[in-house]
Amino acid sequence: MPELPEVEALKDFLTEHLVGHEIVRVLPVAISVLKTYDPPLTALEGREVTAVHRYGKFLGLRTADGPFLVTHLARAGWLHWRDRLPDGPPRPGKGPLALRVALETGEGFDLTEAGTQKRLAVYVVQDPAQVPGIARLGPDPLADDFDEERFAGLLAAERRQLKGALRDQSLIAGVGNAYSDEILHAAKMSPFKRAASLTPEETSRLYLALRSTLTEAVERSRGVAAGRLKAEKKSGLRVHGRTGEPCPVCGDTVREVSFSDSSLQYCPTCQTGGRPLADRRLSRLLK
């Protein structure tokens, strides 16, 4: 799933390639991705793209005197830039193509979604705050005003474990499964530690890990073409998705805890005092 760093890089890429150009056609292929109907997709046509914004994991294209095109790529969605779009309209079918946006230059992009769980979402709205997921977003962790004091205030009343708290978009916007693993590894904290139990020193350590992990990931992704962002993300991860591999910090074996529809990875030596965490499928959680 694209998270804050990849969506930030897509925002920069689209800013360079879209702003100042006119949308001539918006072609829906999978009607299920459309979550709004008023304004219609045709309200975007004939309008110039004036800006591209990121809201957590959402991307928003602003058009001149018109609506926004907002998308959330979800778990299996992606954006593919085309220097030259194919001639003729795309054919609806069982393929991954969900939506195509064409510019006056003949360039454009496709939104695609792999797999059977269709969660890719597209909205056409006058104000991004009309998108429910954006309206519920917590603060952006890379915003200038997101300081350690604000972060501590968010965690103070949190009874959940750190893994779940970091992934909650209404608490902090943009962090998902992969980067929450990376942040906790950098902070040397168990994913099952209770957020409200952190000492001031631990809160400071987690805040620094949050900011540095995301900032470094954004910098690695900056200037990378849209088609290479997935590979760039994977290459920069130290524990997420690396079950069975040696931890790059201490050399211990990276372990995994599986859930019904996801998993987390961690290093026992770095994060849990050498103790393996219990798999949620098999036994109670270890703190």
Task: Give the residue extent of every domain in the chain.
Answer: 4-130, 148-285
pTM: 0.93
Predicted confidence at residue 281, as pLDDT, reads 55
CATH class of 148-285: mainly alpha
pLDDT digits (tens, 9 = 90+) for 44-56: 999 999 999 999 9
Please check whether residue 24 is in contact with residue 102, taking contact to mean a CB–CB distance below 8 angstroms.
yes
Residue 18, Ramachandran bin (φ over 0: left; ψ between -120 and 50: alpha; else beta): alpha
Q: State the Cα–Cα distance between residues 240 and 54, nearest whole angstrom.
A: 24
Euclidean distance between the first and the last CA atom of the chain, given in angstroms as a whole number: 27
Q: Which long-range contacts (CB under 8 A, 24 or more apart) does 246-250 make?
A: 247/185, 249/185
Predicted confidence at residue 64, as pLDDT, reads 97
Predicted confidence at residue 284, as pLDDT, reads 44
Low pLDDT (below 70) residues in the chain: 280-287
pLDDT digits (tens, 9 = 90+) for 120-158: 999 999 999 999 999 999 999 999 999 999 999 999 989
- Contacts for 15 with CB less than 8 Å, ≥ 6 apart: 51, 52
Question: Which CATH fold would you assign to the domain 4-130?
Answer: N-terminal domain of MutM-like DNA repair proteins (3.20.190)
Predicted confidence at residue 252, as pLDDT, reads 98
**Nearest-5° angle of CA 55, CA 17, CA 48?**
80
Predicted confidence at residue 280, as pLDDT, reads 58
Structure tokens at 31: 């009607």
